[in-house]
Amino acid sequence: MGKEEEKSPTRKNPELTLLPLIALIFYEVSGGPFGVEDSVRAGGGPLFALLGFLIFPLFWSIPEALVTAELATSFPKNGGYVFWISSAFGPFWGFQEGFWKWFSGVMDNALYPVLFLDYLKHSIPIFNNMIARIPALLGITVSLTYMNYRGLHIVGFSAVLLACFSLFPFVVMGVLSIPRIRPRQWFVVDLKKVNWRGYFNSMFWNLNYWDKASTLAGEIEDVSRTFPKALLGAVVVVVSSYLIPLLAGTGALQSDSSEWSDGYFAEIGMMIGGLWLKWWIQAGAAMSNLGLFEAEMSADAFQLLGMSELGMLPSIFASRSKYGTPTFSILCSASGVIFLSWMTFQEILEFLNFLYALGMLLEFAAFIELRIKKPELRRPYRVPLQTFGAVMLCLPPSFLLILVMCLASFRTYIVSSIVIILGILLYYALELTKNKLWIPITVKESSPSDNDIEGSADMLHCDPLVSDEASVGLLLNPSSSSAAEEMLAGASGGNS
């Protein structure tokens, strides 16, 4: 059985353990407080920014993390949410989900080289000029793409080191700010300066993408135990990385909300600690954007790999390098980043948020649909709620998703409509090429929409012990016995 498992093309040599996975989820969602400065400016002062990072995680981050934990451990395959949607609603919607999320992810990744240079230009003014920015953007993208190509284990452990380096200066800043803290400054707000569209977009962008790491589920060691724990750890790290710097910066200094823009934490560091802390924060911001880029690139590339294994994309997207990375998928994602990097921060932010919101609404619908239609689906981690409670869990984040979409500009509606139409046309074009055998497309995984859930023991193994009334720990207690795990390990080996 062990030898058979070693030969499995999808489960060979799992590369992600708990700590690297926490770091990757942290970078998928956050990467640190770099970029949250806009929440103070758009919120008209510190109050709404602080309340947002206290309240939004309760109504958005935690529900999304819980849903992701249940579905990712139920479908432990590269491609993540593409499997969930395909199982619930069929391959058409699975493809649309994958296309929206991939496009949104590539747009998100186009932000990080821009943010990297935005921090550096405060100390190296040459990066204000396009003649220097364009070669720098290309060089950063090519270098980081090559690192991603070299292997997921390199990405995972470098993410751990980058996270430590990026966050530690804010711990120091928080300690140094304590004698200067004036709590009344946290409650300052100027309602005339509140920009609700910018505020909600900033909050949403800084607290989304909890589901992104599910696209790497096929590369995670002991996914049913590791993934829920990693999500819990990442929630704590993400929320702390926002609140501590905001509490320190807004409480220790009196500054107008209009001064809070990208890179302003470096100026706060200089005012609190001196020039050395400013440079440290700028270096941390630069390193953070490297981690953000690498995590997003990995998720986007392995999503395309998973879609190829489902037969949704040509088989070239599933081809791996000698390092185990999906070469063509990485190149495709990198090309999208270069193509989109000319857009402004706010344009990219609003476009990607709209597409991401569409995809998340579909994921919440799939979560409920699978609870109702496939209660016998094996769920190694199960949200400790019955079906009605699961519906209630999804309502607050769904409301926030719809609110963000309603606040979008007319230009965003036009661009998003074009992307949606393109996704529909691309699906039918690929179906035509598949039927005509014009492009090699190989199905390496059993399609959850084409088979009964008993048909793929590796992906949808039924467990009669799992019932709707099951009660487990919030994110730490997978509902599977050791005997069941041995049985599943045997099934996985037999299907290799």
Tokens of 297: 């690139």
pLDDT > 80? residue 57: yes
> 309, exposed or middle or buried, with CB in 10 Å at 0-12, 13-18, 19+?
buried
Domain boundaries, the chain: 16-374+384-441
pLDDT tens digits for range 317-332: 888 888 788 888 888 8
Confidence of residue 466 (pLDDT cuts 50, 70, 90): very low
Percent of the chain residues topping a pLDDT of 90: 34
Q: Is 377 helix (H, G, I), strand (E, B) or coil?
A: strand
Q: Is 462 helix (H, G, I), strand (E, B) or coil?
A: strand
pLDDT per residue as tens digits for the range 82-125: 999 999 999 999 999 999 998 888 887 777 777 777 766 766 77
pLDDT of residue 455: 35
pLDDT at 344 over 80: no
What is the model's pTM?
Answer: 0.77
Q: Residue 353 in contact with residue 432, Cβ under 8 Å? A: no
The confidence score (pLDDT) of residue 468 equals 36
pLDDT digits (tens, 9 = 90+) for 75-88: 988 888 999 999 99
DSSP state of 258: G
For residues 162, 166, 167 and 172, what is the CA-based torsion angle, rounded to 10 degrees?
A: 130
For 332-345, give one letter per residue: b (16+ CB within 10 A) or e.
bbbebbbebbeeeb
pLDDT tier at 407 (50, 70, 90 boundaries)? confident
Q: Which two tokens stand for residue 177?
A: 């700010």
Q: Are 86 and 94 in contact (CB under 8 A)?
A: yes
DSSP track, 317-344:
GG-B-TTS-BHHHHHHHHHHHHHHTTS-
> Residue 478: what pLDDT?
41
Q: How many angstroms from the chain centroid is the CA of residue 36?
A: 17
* Residue 186: pLDDT over 90: yes
DSSP of 182-224: -GGGGG---GGG--HHHHHHHHHHHT--TTGGGGBGGGBTTHH
CATH superfamily of 16-374+384-441: Amino acid/polyamine transporter I (1.20.1740.10)
If you average pLDDT over residues 279-298, what whole number do you get? 84
Q: For position 119, what pLDDT does the model report?
A: 67
pLDDT in tens, 140-175: 778 778 877 776 767 778 888 888 999 999 999 999
Which among 288, 292, 263 has a CA at the least distance from the CA of 109?
A: 292
Find out whether 52 and 335 touch, Cβ atoms under 8 Å.
no
307 or 483, higher pLDDT: 307
- Helix, strand, coil shares, percent, the chain, to 5: 70, 0, 25
